[in-house]
């Protein structure tokens, strides 16, 4: 079974600071997602990373994927309170080189940004 580990699980940071969330996974995959979840809400797609070296940026968030290291990062630049939420990475399971459309999620990183 594919294992996905995120760290840290809890992150408390001051506005204006930078930080990185890490997502490691255990087996080959070249398709990784980042989602945001607000309390009591469903999952909102942030990024889809499709190949080794992929980098995507939206506002203060930047995600990257290193398939050889089986590692993705979500970098937060100059954090603001509105970024407070739980962030999940999810890896699409691969079988013989093809993705199966089955997502395996990390436990999530609960981010709190304070003034």
Partner 1 sequence: EAGVAQSPRYKIIEKRQSVAFWCNPISGHATLYWYQQILGQGPKLLIQFQNNGVVDDSQLPKDRFSAERLKGVDSTLKIQPAKLEDSAVYLCASSLGARYYEQYFGPGTRLTVT
Binding-site ranges for partner 1 (CB under 8 A): 4, 31, 33, 41-43, 45, 48, 88, 90, 98-108
Nearer Cβ to partner 1 (17/107): 107
- Least Å from the CB of residue 91 to partner 1: 11
> To 10 degrees, the CA torsion angle through 111, 53, 78, 59?
-90
What is d(CA 11, CA 27) in angstroms, rounded to the nearest whole number? 26
43 is written with which tokens?
């999952």
Q: Residue 40 burial by CB count (10 A; 0-12/13-18/19+): exposed, middle or buried?
A: exposed
- Least Å from the CB of residue 52 to partner 1: 16
- Least Å from the CB of residue 1 to partner 1: 9
10: which residues sit within 8 A by CB, 6+ positions away? 109, 110, 112
69: which residues sit within 8 A by CB, 6+ positions away? none
Nearer Cβ to partner 1 (69/100): 100
Nearer Cβ to partner 1 (5/66): 5
Nearer Cβ to partner 1 (19/105): 105
- Least Å from the CB of residue 83 to partner 1: 19
């Amino acid at each position: 079974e594919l294992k996905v580990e995120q760290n840290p699980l809890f992150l408390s940071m001051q506005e204006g600071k930078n930080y990185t969330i890490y997502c490691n996974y255990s087996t080959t995959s070249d398709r990784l997602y980042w989602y945001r979840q607000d309390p009591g809400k469903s999952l909102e797609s942030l990024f889809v990373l499709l190949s080794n070296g992929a980098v995507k940026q939206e506002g203060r968030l930047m995600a990257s994927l290193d398939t050889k290291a089986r590692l993705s990062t979500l970098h937060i630049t100059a954090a603001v309170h509105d970024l407070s939420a739980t962030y999940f990475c999810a890896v699409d399971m691969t079988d013989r080189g093809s993705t199966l459309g089955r997502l395996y999620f990390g436990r999530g990183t609960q981010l709190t940004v304070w003034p």
